[in-house]
């Protein structure tokens, strides 16, 4: 079923025809209570949607579309453990991982909560033993440096969260991440590690991912060369749903923390994949993170669509993506702690909704997932904001900020906030030529100094960056992605698009590494690159 052939879609297309000429200035002037009407709050997250090119009549139509696409029924199907990931025949239950109310959730007739709680308990016990020094390295020293080896969902989430929550770190703990197959990455990290105090977490759902397996093997060789082969059991643990493969790698069963095939990689940071986070911030803070996720999950599950933050954020994105034809969304956190948040969301969003066939396998002739990108403010202001303010493209922006700073530098935090507010004002209302004329600006420069305004932004706020507010913020985006996937009628939980490159790389690798000059099966264009590589060794 194509979304674009639905009556509610056609209604929206018609509404867009007349709405597209409206400006934010007019929208604010025509409705004095616009700010109030378009700000919503839930689970500690406050969103000001008012500087967006929509109003209650558009929202109503978008909600009608969501209802026609059966968003509520499909959301309920996810929460109740139905196999909504059709192409992989799997349930999608990251919400169960942080189900703090512990209500039963069934997959194939079996409640998954007992196994989740059991693994969580094991993770907590393990963390305690690392922190209190009961679990020691081979030479009897406390393990204080965590090296997470993983990629994609087995890296981006833990990396983003540990960086974001560094003010909450447990004393003495350090956390490092190796993801890239580029040998420089592991080399750079190992250079900074002491084998006697390093714990490696091999994080891979499948335990077959080339990059992770290669880096894990290097780490093992490095460790055993320094401490002997019997050091592996005290310095390596695995986080995986493939116990067999983790055992084959040489990790004993007691050192494997499992999760399940109904946890998608990019939704896995609250599974065993989050062990680096737990070790870094400790049990109490980790539980707070889970609670934040759970609060937003509950809100998404129960709030009416009109008040539902992830639903509204998702529908707003559809409005821009499909009617205004905006091709990207900028994620602009005004908090340096969230430096890795845009990269994390790139996988979350683009791997989920970067699809071009419907759930029924038909080719799609409308736009689906946008390009996600961004950098923390104010850095971005001095780099790419020029294009957002005066370029030819419409780029809806999510501005994220926290009222209270994590560090006691209030004056500088106010500077950050002044910029945060000013940028959204400038984007929305711009600066027109007549103002510049009045100010006596050189007429020749007026075209360059004019700001068209009418450029949309959403302010996403919380009181302070805490484990709990971060959990809610991440879940907000997860469910926004879900909402959009339903509207675009794509399967948001598979990622077949990453497979072809992997397959071809495995065909090319032997030619590069064994110097086999057999290029018959290789694409001509790739042969040029192979030749360049081989002749320049």
> Could you please report the per-residue DSSP string of 186-253?
HHHHHHT--GGGEEEEEE-SSS--HHHHHHHHHHHHHHHHHH-GGGHHHHEEEEES-HHHHHHHT--G
Q: Which of 230, 236, 238, 251 lies closest to 209, judged by CA?
A: 238
In the complex, minimum distance from the CB of residue 298 to ligand F6P, in angstroms, rounded to a whole number: 26
Catalytic residue flag (residue 235): no
For residues 406 and 166, give the distance between their C-alpha atoms in angstroms, rounded to a whole number. Answer: 10
Q: Are strands 457-464 and 45-48 parallel, antiparallel or unpaired?
A: antiparallel
**Least distance CB 186 / ligand F6P (angstroms):** 15
Please identify which residue in the block is written with the tokens 């020691």: 136
Cα(110)–Cα(302) distance, rounded to whole angstroms? Answer: 24
Distance CA 378, CA 221 (A): 42
- Least separation in angstroms between CB 205 and ligand F6P: 4
**Nearer of residues 298 and 352 to ligand F6P, judged by Cβ:** 352
Residue 41 or 494 having the CB closest to ligand F6P: 494
Q: Least distance from C-beta 242 to ligand F6P, angstroms? A: 8
Residue 220 forms beta bridges with which residues? none
Sheet arrangement for strand 45-48: 39-42, 45-48, 457-464, 397-404, 328-333, 371-373
Active site residue 22: no
Minimum CB separation of residue 178 from ligand F6P in Å reads 13
In the complex, least distance from residue 94 CB atom to ligand F6P, rounded to whole angstroms:
12
DSSP 349-383: IIIHH---B-TTSPBP-S--SPEEE---TTGGGGT
Q: Is 74 a catalytic residue?
A: no
Residue nearest to ligand F6P (CB): 265
Continuous segment of H or E residues that includes residue 399 = strand 397-404
Tokens representing 299 are: 């809100």
Judged by beta carbon, residue 269 or residue 296, the one nearer ligand F6P is: 269
Name the residue nearer to ligand F6P (CB basis): 168 or 236.
Answer: 236
DSSP state of 153: G
> Contact positions toward ligand F6P, by CB under 6 A?
151-154, 204-206, 209, 212, 265-266, 351, 495, 498
CA 115 to chain centre: 26
Burial class (CB in 10 A: 0-12, 13-18, 19+), 1: exposed
| Cα–Cα separations (whole angstroms), residue 214 to 218, 366, 456 | 6, 39, 44
Rounded distance between C-alpha atoms, residue 460 and residue 399, angstroms: 6
- The DSSP code for 269 is T
**Least distance from ligand F6P to the Cβ atom of residue 537, Å:** 28
- In the bound state with ligand F6P, the residue whose beta carbon lies nearer, of 187 and 210, is 210
Q: Which of 351, 375, 389, 478 is catalytic?
A: 351
> How many other β-carbons are positioned within 10 Å of the β-carbon of residue 197?
17
Classify 42 as helix, strand or coil. strand
Nearest to 494 by CA among 89, 154, 88, 119: 88
Choice among 14, 70, 502, 507 that is catalytic: 502
Supply the minimum distance, in Å, between the C-beta of residue 264 and ligand F6P: 7
Is 150 or 377 the residue whose CB approaches ligand F6P more closely? 150
CB nearer to ligand F6P: pick between 265 and 282: 265
Distance (Å, whole) CA 157 – CA 512 = 32
Instruction: Please tell me what DSSP assigns to residue 178.
Output: E
Residue 277 or 461 with smaller CB distance to ligand F6P: 277
Q: How far is CA 386 from its chain centroid?
A: 25
Token readout for 86 is 């059709």
* Smaller CB separation from ligand F6P, 387 or 505: 505
Which is closer to ligand F6P, CB of 180 or CB of 450?
180
Query: Shortest approach of ligand F6P to residue 265 CB, angstroms?
Result: 3
Catalytic-role residue among 171, 382, 517, 524: 382
To ligand F6P, the closest distance from the beta carbon of 430 in angstroms equals: 40
**DSSP letter at 322?**
I
Pure H helices in 6-84: 7-19, 24-30, 34-37, 56-68, 71-79
Question: Tokens 């911030």 map to which residue?
Answer: 281
With H, G, I as helix, E, B as strand and everything else as coil, classify residue 383.
Answer: coil
Q: Which of 348, 200, 337, 343 is nearest to 266 (CA)?
A: 348
Q: Known catalytic residues?
A: 351, 382, 502
């Amino acid at each position: 079923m194509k979304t674009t052939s639905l009556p509610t879609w056609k209604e929206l297309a018609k509404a867009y025809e007349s709405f597209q000429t409206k400006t934010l200035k007019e929208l604010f002037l025509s409705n004095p209570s616009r700010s109030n009407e378009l700000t919503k709050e839930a689970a500690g997250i406050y969103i000001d949607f008012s500087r967006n090119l929509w109003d209650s009549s558009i929202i109503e139509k978008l909600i009608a579309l969501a209802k026609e696409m059966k968003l509520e029924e499909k959301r309920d199907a996810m929460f109740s453990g139905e196999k909504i990931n059709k192409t992989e025949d799997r349930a999608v239950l990251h919400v169960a991982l942080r189900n703090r109310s512990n209500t039963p959730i069934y997959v194939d007739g079996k409640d998954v909560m007992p196994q989740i709680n059991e693994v969580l308990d094991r993770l907590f016990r393990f963390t305690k033993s690392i922190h209190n020094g009961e679990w020691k390295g081979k030479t009897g020293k406390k393990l204080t440096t965590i090296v997470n080896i993983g990629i994609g969902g087995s890296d981006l989430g833990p990396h983003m969260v540990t960086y974001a929550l560094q003010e909450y770190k447990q004393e003495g703990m350090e956390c490092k991440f190796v993801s890239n197959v580029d040998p420089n990455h592991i080399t750079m990290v190992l250079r900074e590690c002491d084998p006697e105090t390093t714990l490696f977490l091999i994080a891979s759902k499948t335990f077959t991912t080339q990059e992770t397996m290669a880096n894990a093997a290097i780490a093992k060789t490095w460790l055993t060369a320094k401490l002997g082969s019997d050091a592996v059991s005290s310095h390596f643990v695995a986080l995986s749903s493939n116990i067999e493969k983790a055992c084959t790698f040489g990790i004993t069963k007691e050192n494997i923390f499992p999760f399940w095939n109904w946890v998608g990689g990019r939704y896995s940071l609250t599974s065993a994949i989050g062990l680096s986070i737990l070790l870094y911030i400790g049990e109490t803070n980790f539980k707070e993170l889970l609670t934040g996720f759970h609060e937003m999950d509950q809100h998404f599950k129960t709030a009416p669509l009109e008040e539902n933050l992830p639903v509204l954020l998702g529908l707003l994105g559809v409005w821009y993506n499909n009617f205004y034809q905006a091709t990207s969304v900028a994620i602009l956190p005004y908090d340096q702690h969230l430096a890795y948040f845009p990269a994390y969301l790139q996988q979350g969003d683009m791997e989920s909704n970067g699809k071009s066939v419907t759930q029924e396998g038909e080719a799609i002739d409308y736009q689906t997932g946008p390009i996600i990108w961004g950098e923390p403010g104010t850095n971005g202001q001095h780099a790419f904001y020029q294009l957002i303010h005066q370029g030819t493209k419409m780029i809806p922006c999510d501005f994220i900020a926290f009222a209270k700073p994590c560090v006691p530098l209030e004056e500088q935090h106010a500077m950050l906030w002044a910029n945060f507010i000013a940028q959204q004002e400038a984007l929305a209302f711009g600066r027109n030529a007549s103002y510049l004329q009045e100010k006596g600006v050189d007429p020749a420069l007026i075209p360059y100094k004019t700001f068209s305004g009418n450029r949309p932004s959403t302010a996403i706020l919380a009181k302070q960056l805490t484990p709990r507010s971060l959990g809610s913020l991440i879940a907000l985006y997860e469910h926004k992605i879900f909402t959009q996937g339903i509207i675009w009628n794509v399967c948001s939980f598979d990622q077949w698009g990453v497979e072809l490159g992997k397959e071809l790389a495995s065909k090319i690798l032997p030619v590069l590494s064994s110097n086999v000059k057999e290029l018959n099966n290789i694409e001509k264009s790739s042969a040029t690159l192979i030749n360049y590589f081989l002749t320049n060794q």
